Amino acid sequence: MKPIVAPSILAADFANLESEVKMINDSAADWIHVDIMDGVFVPNLSMGIPVVKAIKKHATKPLDVHLMIVNPERYVEAFHDAGASVISVHIEASPHLHRTIQQIRAMGIKAGVAINPHTGVDQLEDIIGDIDLVCMMSVNPGFGGQKFIENTYKKVERLKSMIMRTGSKAQIEIDGGVNLQNAKSLVNAGADVLVAGNFVFSSSNPKEVIAQLKDLK
Ligand code: DX5
Ligand code: ZN
């Protein structure tokens, strides 16, 4: 099965966002992954609502917004209004996760839960039936270009079996350090969505890399 491929705009050239978004439009990518960092939940700042609106203006593909911010319920409506089709919030940053998920779904878009590398998939047991996506971090969130954490494979398998057992419709998204070395094994383990930042944008032919991630050999 072909994965959903979501290039991460964090690794793009921010001075040429329009052409970077158009490159994704013209590629085999399915979604555009947008990383929002608050300098509190993660030790870095990235972009905010005006930039998401600017991306949306040119994007022909759904925006998959990954909120790495504390108390994300404060901003889900603003990111929906800015054009998000998927919003993921971190389990570690959401004191009332179930309520926040309901809030996102009530706006008619997909709701995801992101988990850090140290967070066990068992913590999703009581929310898995209510969500559309699990964004499984395969690096510690905050920066692009980090090394893939190998323990992720086991987590994907465990999550996949939870999804099968419970009849959940949630898709599994892998975020961080994805490349052509690990993509196939991740999909075989149960991943549905592959996020890739540096691997795509540091290439001399990003469209070709996106096509290769989509059509794994
Ligand atoms: C990390 C972000 C990722 C990042 C992935 O905090 O959530 O989405 O952009 O970038 P690469 O593929 O370079 O690890
Ligand atoms: Zn991300």
The pLDDT confidence band at residue 4, using thresholds 50, 70 and 90, is very high
Residue 63 pLDDT exceeds 90: yes
Provide the β-strand partners of residue 191: none
pLDDT band at 217 (very low <50, low <70, confident <90, very high): confident
CA distance 122 to 1: 26
Only one residue has tokens 């504390």, namely: 70
Taking residues 172-184, report their average pLDDT: 98
CA of 8 to the centre of ligand 2 (A): 7
Domains belonging to the chain, first-starting first, are: 4-214 (3.20.20.70)
Q: Is residue 175 flagged as an active site residue?
A: yes
Calculate the average pLDDT of the chain: 98
Token readout for 3 is 């994965």
Count other C-beta atoms under 10 Å from residue 40's C-beta. 12
| pLDDT higher than threshold 80 for residue 1 | no
Verify whether ligand 1 is closer than 6 Å to residue 138 (CB atom).
no
With a CB cutoff of 8 Å and minimum separation 6, the contacts of 92 are 41, 115, 116, 119
Average pLDDT over residues 15-23: 98
> What pLDDT does residue 201 have?
98
| pLDDT score at 152 | 98
Q: Output the pLDDT for position 2.
A: 96
pLDDT digits (tens, 9 = 90+) for 70-84: 999 999 999 999 999
Share of the chain above pLDDT 90, in %: 99
The answer to whether residue 191 scores a pLDDT higher than 90 is: yes
The pLDDT tens digits of the residues spanning 86-120 come to 999 999 999 999 999 999 999 999 999 999 999 99
pTM of the model: 0.98
The distance from CA 135 to its chain's CA centroid, rounded to whole angstroms, is 5
Our measurement of the distance from residue 178's CA atom to the centroid of its chain's CA atoms, rounded to an integer in Å, reads 12
- Considering only CA atoms, which residue is closest to atom 7 of ligand 1? 141
Measure Cα distances from 197 to 26, 122, 130, 178 in Å. Answer: 17, 28, 28, 8
Pocket test for ligand 1, best of 186, 195, 200 (most atoms within 8 A of CB): 195
pLDDT band at 154 (very low <50, low <70, confident <90, very high): very high
pLDDT at 126: 98
DSSP state of 45: B
